[in-house]
Structure 1
Amino acid sequence: MAKLAQYSAELFRELKQLSAADWIPADPQCRRDHS
């Protein structure tokens, strides 16, 4: 069970890094399009 928790924690960390890399640069463009 602890191994599963560690795995999901690492997976979540990777997911957060991925989403940060994807969304932070694109965010100003999105705002510009909507305004």
Structure 2
Amino acid sequence: IIVSMLVIAGAQFVAFQFIMQYSRFYIFELNTEDDD
């Protein structure tokens, strides 16, 4: 059970990091297109 919790926590952390990076990249693209 503990291992499962750690795996789930790790998966959520990785997913959160991925979403943050993707959002930052997406916003950067919008800003670049906006400036152009």
Classify the TM-score, shorter chain. 0.5 to 0.7
Q: Which runs of 5+ in 1 are unaligned?
A: 30-35
Matched, 1:8 2:15: yes
CA RMSD, aligned part only?
A: 1.3
What TM-score comes out, normalization by structure 1 length? Answer: 0.67
Q: Which runs of 5+ in 2 are unaligned?
A: 1-7
Percentage identity across paired residues of the two chains? 7
What TM-score comes out, normalization by structure 2 length? Answer: 0.66
